[in-house]
Structures are given as structure tokens and as C-alpha cells.
């Protein structure tokens, strides 16, 4: 029996680039992205820096050991159903009992949002349009 799966539609970086998100140790953090967040590894290389491209639905992100500070970066992901997303992540092993949803207004769009901080310190905001 397959559990319902939320669909990621778009990604916007907090800094410059969703394909250059800084991590300190790629090998250590990859299992979190694959096993908990549901991303699939699409490519990986070790030169000039260790880097991986991950995909889920219509979204691709890149994790790179580039010397940047992961605690100062991340992405906003548009998701079709943030409640389903939380249930999915929890079923995959996310160690959180309550989702702690909030509402945020950006321009003319109201979002129901959920924040997830990865073990590397990157912060991800998952948002579902409310209007």
C-alpha cells in the first residue's frame, strides 16, 4: 500500500542558486535528503568539490562542499499539499511529532508553510498556496 505523496512544484533559493547549496560533508547529509526528504540522487562528483544533484518531482537542487555557511541558505519549495508532505516526511523518519504550520504572506499570495532544517543546517520552507 502506497502512502499519499506530496508533489514539489517549484524551488526558489534564499541566496543565489538552488544548484549550489552549501554543505560541510556531502557524504554525511545525503541519506537525509534521500531517505527523509524523498529526493533521488541524479548525479554526483568529487572534483573540483564534492557535489550532488538531487531531484524530486519538478524540482532539482544541488548540494556542494563549497565553503559556504549552510545555516545561511536553503530553499522555498512550493508543494501541492503541505499536510500530506508532513505526514510523508514523518512516515519516512522525520523526528518531529507536530508540524508547526504557520501562514506567511508574500506579495498577493498567502502560503501555509512548514520549516524543516536539515542536519547540515540548510533551512527549507515548504509552502502551499492558500489563495
CATH code of residue 20: 3.10.180.10
How much is the average pLDDT of 72-88?
Answer: 96
Confidence class of residue 4 from pLDDT cuts 50, 70 and 90?
Answer: confident
Instruction: Provide the CA 61 distance to its chain's centre, in angstroms.
Output: 8
Q: What local confidence, expressed as pLDDT, does residue 64 receive?
A: 96
Residue 2 domain-assigned? no
Q: Which of 1-15, 18-32, 66-80 shows the lowest mean pLDDT across its residues?
A: 1-15
Place of cell 509552502: 127
In a domain, 114, yes or no: yes
Lowest mean pLDDT among 6-10, 45-49, 120-124, 126-130: 45-49
Query: Is residue 1 in some structural domain?
Result: no
**C-alpha 73: how far from its chain's center?**
11
Confidence of residue 2 (pLDDT cuts 50, 70, 90): low
The answer to whether position 34 is within a domain reads: yes
What's the number of domains the chain is made of? 1
**Considering just the CA atoms, what is the radius of gyration of the chain in Å?**
14
pTM for the structure as a whole? 0.93
pLDDT of 12 reads 94
Indicate if the pLDDT at residue 24 is higher than 60: yes
What pLDDT does 131 receive? 79
Measuring CA to CA, which residue among 71, 77, 73 is closest to residue 55? 77
Asked whether the beta carbons of 75 and 124 are under 8 A apart, the reply is yes
Range of the domain at 96: 8-129
Q: What is the mean pLDDT of residues 33-42?
A: 97
Amino acid at each position: 500500500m502506497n502512502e499519499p505523496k506530496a508533489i514539489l512544484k517549484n524551488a526558489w533559493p534564499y541566496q543565489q542558486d538552488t544548484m549550489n547549496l552549501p554543505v560541510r560533508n556531502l557524504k554525511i547529509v545525503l541519506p537525509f535528503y534521500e531517505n527523509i526528504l524523498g529526493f533521488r540522487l541524479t548525479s554526483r562528483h568529487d572534483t573540483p568539490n564534492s557535489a550532488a544533484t538531487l531531484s524530486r518531482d519538478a524540482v532539482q537542487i544541488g548540494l556542494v562542499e563549497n565553503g559556504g555557511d549552510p545555516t545561511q541558505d536553503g530553499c522555498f519549495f512550493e508543494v501541492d499539499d503541505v499536510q500530506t508532505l508532513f505526514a510523508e516526511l514523518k512516515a519516512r523518519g522525520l523526528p518531529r511529532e507536530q508540524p508547526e504550520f504557520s501562514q506567511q504572506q508574500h506579495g498577493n499570495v498567502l502560503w501555509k508553510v512548514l520549516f524543516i532544517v536539515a542536519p547540515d543546517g540548510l533551512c527549507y520552507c515548504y509552502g502551499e498556496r492558500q489563495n
